[in-house]
Amino acid sequence: QLLKDTKGIVFLKKLPKGKQTSQASQGLFMMRQGLAEWSKPVALHMSKGDLYWGSQPAVDRVDVFILIQDAELVETFRCFGQIGFNCDSANKMKKGVCIENSDMSFIKFATVLSERPDLLQGRAFSYGLSNGHFFPVHIENPILQFRTSSNRKFYECRNLDMQTLVLEGVDVNEPAKAALILEAQACTARHFDISKRFPEYADIGEEAFSPKPETSPALSSPDPTNIASPSMGRQWSSSTCSSNSSSTNSDSDNEY
């Protein structure tokens, strides 16, 4: 269900626990442009926010994934090069839903979900990954920003902004860079291709980007027998707005 509804993804590499800074919290953003199509990778950083997870895993840093479910938030980020989340219900980032990979866990979760359908209703969900373990993390009041100098350096375009990169795209003439971009797009599409990874849920992917008829509230309640478990998000082993993209970011010329 979460894979189906994802409109944009954020990947942040090796973040420390606690307060985040733009220099330490760098990563990539990709916007979904169709059932199996994704934008070119966009360099970003978390300029503000607090990251927490439980006592397990007992590590100092984790990779972080943010699945953005709300199309309006993705459009805001695309237009302004900045997006923020807060603690209120209007624009809240929720800890990702995770369950064990077993039939009994699926049954238990389906029962809980029938009583609390709001578990899979949110604008964005956050997850951590460390040593092959996938788990929910809490990110408080994060602000994500477009890394101007990093993107312009990698794509070799002096006036590149978020809208141009995501919506129009840029030509990449260097073969090595072009190969990296294609690999990132193909890998992301492969992870989110529900019809191939989960044939029993093939129709979910087709419905995600097709018009849905209006239904009355009485007919819109979820059916727990048809719920796709959120643990479909398999482990990956590799890799509101308050200002516009013309603002100067404090990022350095670190590697994209």
What does the pLDDT read at residue 90? 65
What does the pLDDT read at residue 217? 41
Average pLDDT on 142-146 reads: 93
Give pLDDT tens digits for 218-249: 434 444 444 444 433 333 333 333 334 334 44
What does the pLDDT read at residue 102? 65
What does the pLDDT read at residue 236? 37
Q: What percent of the chain has pLDDT over 90?
A: 33
Cis peptide before 142 (omega within 30 of 0): no
Give pLDDT tens digits for 44-91: 999 989 999 988 788 889 999 999 998 999 999 999 999 988 766 667
Q: Residue 100: is its pLDDT beyond 60?
A: yes
Give pLDDT tens digits for 182-217: 999 999 988 887 777 777 665 654 444 444 444 434
List Cα–Cα distances, 10 to 44, 114, 144, 147, 227, in angstroms. Answer: 9, 29, 9, 13, 25
Using alpha carbons, select from 40, 44, 36, 38 the residue that is nearest to residue 12.
44
Single-letter residue type at 22: S
**String of DSSP letters for the chain:** -HHHH--EEEEEEEEESEE--TTT-EEEEEEB-SSS-BPPPEEEEEEEEEEE--SSS--SEEEEEEEE--HHHHHHHHHHSEEE-BSSTTSBEEEPP---SSHHHHHHHHHHHHH-GGGG--SEEEEEEETTEEEE-EEEEEEEEE-HHHHHHHHT-TT--HHIIIII------HHHHHHHHHHHHHHHHHT-HHHH-GGGHHHHHHHTS------GGG-S--GGGPPPGGGS---------S-TTSPP---S---
What does the pLDDT read at residue 10? 95
Give pLDDT tens digits for 32-44: 988 788 999 999 9
Using alpha carbons, select from 227, 220, 226, 256 the residue that is nearest to residue 239.
256
Single-letter residue type at 179: A
What does the pLDDT read at residue 29? 96
What does the pLDDT read at residue 101? 65
Q: Residue 98: is its pLDDT beyond 90?
A: no
Give pLDDT tens digits for 104-137: 777 777 787 788 877 777 889 999 999 888 899 9
What does the pLDDT read at residue 200? 66
Is residue 35 within 8 A of residue 208, CB to CB? The reply is yes
